[in-house]
Amino acid sequence: MTSIFERMRDSIAADIHNMLDKKEEKNPIAALNQYLRQSEAETEKVRKLVERQYKLNEEFQKEYEAALEMAVKRKEQAVIALDAKEDDLYVFAKNEQREYEVRAEQLKATYENAKEQLLQLEQKYEEMKHKLKNMHMRRMELMGRENIARANYQMNKVVDGAGDKSYSKFTEMERYIEGLESKVNRVYYENTFDSKIANLERQLKDKNTVAENQ
């Protein structure tokens, strides 16, 4: 049973290392989540095996106690049969006593072995739970790092990668505004010039008219 869990543990470790080594994965966090779900399912299977082993140990203990009780009972009955000089009953009781004593010894050995196996199973189960918890913590760390990396990437696109395009847009806008301002100023200047000339022309006409009337 120990070797089975060692192989399971090694297999889980190998699987996660192989998965993390695949840098071409488009979404490693999603793959990690899938792996964790599988690990949780395997851990749940082990939990059920532990519960089952507990029940089996209880059955071993009950059978051992029952066999021991019957051995004691047949021993007492053998004494009674011997006192009553019932040889057949005495032989039957002694044979039964030996059978139950042998069964009790076998069940005791089986029960002790089962207790040791249960302890090992519990230790492996706790180890799996700790590893699963550590993987969840590791996933949270990786998710945090991924979020930071994505945020930095988006900011860098604006500040650096897409910054040149952004600044070129501003440059284009500045040139457009400068051209528009130049056009407005030119129109304003032309309108002002025309207005001044027209005013001077009127003033000259007025002077000529006054001179002619004199």
Cα 112 from chain centroid?
Answer: 39
CA distance 13 to 5: 12
Cβ neighbours around 135 below 10 Å, total: 17
Regarding pTM above 0.85, the answer is no
In this prediction, residue 5 carries a pLDDT of 62
Lowest mean pLDDT among 22-36, 48-62, 82-96: 22-36
| In the block, residue with structure tokens 């009953």 | 89
> Do residues 60 and 107 touch, judged by C-beta distance below 8 A?
yes
Interval 88-98 mean pLDDT: 94
More confident residue, 198 or 11: 198
